[in-house]
């Protein structure tokens, strides 16, 4: 995300995918992408770059977190790895977890005690490593989860993610599928999507846009799976979708797919999962978490529905809010 011509940026990553070009200066830092404690030379990186602000995304290595938070530092908390050692506030008993992490709370989610101790320990270490950061969250749901594990309000700022709302394909009356967009995993609800579609009685095919562990099983079952899509290719599938289905079993930090669909005038059938309720228009297309029959009925009702306008969520607005947050964090660090 380019903030303005006045800001120089350096992107630090552990590796770069083939064919991907960095939009700014690039630093390769071994160990930065580790999920557990691993040696990583963040101090050397900071000495070379001398940043005014460090902004961390998707770093789970406690060593890297602690080192990166020594100056003016912001961390975007994208997922549950700092407050849930399990499956994202979704228990092995197929229920929503509403308790803060702890040995007693988390024990039912692990079949082996040593695995529980390992995952709880690393999760607590991540949270401790984040102590020096100002935390940016994408939903009030995520803010509540962090408060429950001891993060104070003055360290939390909620800025929802941006959605591309320019250069979209014009609306179309030729809607020929129901679309699931995202990682093809049980946590994202691929099973619930299949069952709800089967129970809905609709004739439009269900298409899975994405890739993941469940891809082969979906293809064997006869569903079309697109694999990973570029933004333009995904736009073409949105153009064809009569509805988007979002039945996340883990508690969604936000659910960006849903707001992308609404911005394109596509009705979204979803479970009440995590931050979804904060942007979903509600009504009879937002279904109680875990209710597959209700999801199927909602899917049948969604076809042909109009969608109310969504609030502005442009990249420019996100950049302004993020820049303002940088100023606040930098000023706090001035002696």
Per residue in 48-69, pLDDT (tens digit) is: 999 999 999 999 999 999 999 9
Plot region of 110 (φ>0 → left; ψ -120 to 50 → alpha; else → beta): beta
Q: What is the pLDDT of residues 124-169, one digit of tens each?
A: 999 999 999 999 999 999 999 999 999 999 999 999 998 876 656 7
Flag whether 255 is in a domain. yes
Backbone phi, then psi, for 220, in 5-degree steps? -60, -35
- Residues 83, 188, single domain; the answer is no
Query: In this structure, is residue 246 part of a structural domain?
Result: yes
Residue 279, SS3?
A: coil
Does residue 310 lie within any of the structural domains?
no
Q: Taking all residues of the chain, what is their mean pLDDT, rounded to a whole number?
A: 93
- Same structural domain for residues 182 and 111? no
List the structure tokens of 90.
């979704």
Domain containing residue 223: CATH number: 3.40.50.2000
Structure-token pair, residue 290: 């875990």
Question: What would the mean pLDDT of 10-25 be, rounded to a whole number?
Answer: 90
In the sheet that 206-209 helps form, which strands lie side by side, from edge to edge?
Answer: 224-225, 206-209, 177-181, 241-246, 268-271, 286-287
For the whole model, what pTM was predicted? 0.92
Domain match, 107 and 153 both: yes
Q: Is residue 39 part of a domain?
A: yes
Q: Are residues 15 and 97 in the same domain?
A: yes
Q: Are 219 and 285 in a shared domain? A: yes
Q: 149 and 100 in contact (C-beta within 8 Å)?
A: yes
Domain assignment of residue 5, yes or no: no
285 falls within a domain: yes
pLDDT in tens, 163-202: 876 656 776 778 999 999 999 999 999 999 999 999 999 9
Kindly compute the dihedral angle of the four CA atoms of residues 57, 62, 67, 68, in this order, to the nearest 10 degrees.
10
Q: Are residues 181 and 293 in the same domain?
A: yes
How many Å separate Cα 183 from the centre of its chain? 11
Same domain, 192 and 275: yes
- Contact predicate 269/295, CB 8 Å: yes
Quick one: 127 and 186 in the same domain? Answer: no
> Domain check: are 246 and 140 in the same one?
no
Residue 197: domain span: 177-302
* Contacts for 149 with CB less than 8 Å, ≥ 6 apart: 82, 83, 100, 101, 127
Helices 292-302, 190-200: axis angle to 10 degrees equals 60
Domain CATH number, residue 81: 3.40.50
pLDDT at 2: 40
- Same structural domain for residues 155 and 18? yes
Give the pLDDT mean for 245-251.
Answer: 97
Does some domain include residue 193? yes
Total count of domains within the chain: 2
131 and 35 in a common domain: yes
Strand pairing partners for 76?
57, 136
The predicted-structure confidence for 201-220, as pLDDT tens digits, reads as follows: 999 999 999 999 999 999 99
* In a domain? residue 167: no
**Statement to judge: residues 34 and 157 lie in one domain:** yes
């Amino acid at each position: 995300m380019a903030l303005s011509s006045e800001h120089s940026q350096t992107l630090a990553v552990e590796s770069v995918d083939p064919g991907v070009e960095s939009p700014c200066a690039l630093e390769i830092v071994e160990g930065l992408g580790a999920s557990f404690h691993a040696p990583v030379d963040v101090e050397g990186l900071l000495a070379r770059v001398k940043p005014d602000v460090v902004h961390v995304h998707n770093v789970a290595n406690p060593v890297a977190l602690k080192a990166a938070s020594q100056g003016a530092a912001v961390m975007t908390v994208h997922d549950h790895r700092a407050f849930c050692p399990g499956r994202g506030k979704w228990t092995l008993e197929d229920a929503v977890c509403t308790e803060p992490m702890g040995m007693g709370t988390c024990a039912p989610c692990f079949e082996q005690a040593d695995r529980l101790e390992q995952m709880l320990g690393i999760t607590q270490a991540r949270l401790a490593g984040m102590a020096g950061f100002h935390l940016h969250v994408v939903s009030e749901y995520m803010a509540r989860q962090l408060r429950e594990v001891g993060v104070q309000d003055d360290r939390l700022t909620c800025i929802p993610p941006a959605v591309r709302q320019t250069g979209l394909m014009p609306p179309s009356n030729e809607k020929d599928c129901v679309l699931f967009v995202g990682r093809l995993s049980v946590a994202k609800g691929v099973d619930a999507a299949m069952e709800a579609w089967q129970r809905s009685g609709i004739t439009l095919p269900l298409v899975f846009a994405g890739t993941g562990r469940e891809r082969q099983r979906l293809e064997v079952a006869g569903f079309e799976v697109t694999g990973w899509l570029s933004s333009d290719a995904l736009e073409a599938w949105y153009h064809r979708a009569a509805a988007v289905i979002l039945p996340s079993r883990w508690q969604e930090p936000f659910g960006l797919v849903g707001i992308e669909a609404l911005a394109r005038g596509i009705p979204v059938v979803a479970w009440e999962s995590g931050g979804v309720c904060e942007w979903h228009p509600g009504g009879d297309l937002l279904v109680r978490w875990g209710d597959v029959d209700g999801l199927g009925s909602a899917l049948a009702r969604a076809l042909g529905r109009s969608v109310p306008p969504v609030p502005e969520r442009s990249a420019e607005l996100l950049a302004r809010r993020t820049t303002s947050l940088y100023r606040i964090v930098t000023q706090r660090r001035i002696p």
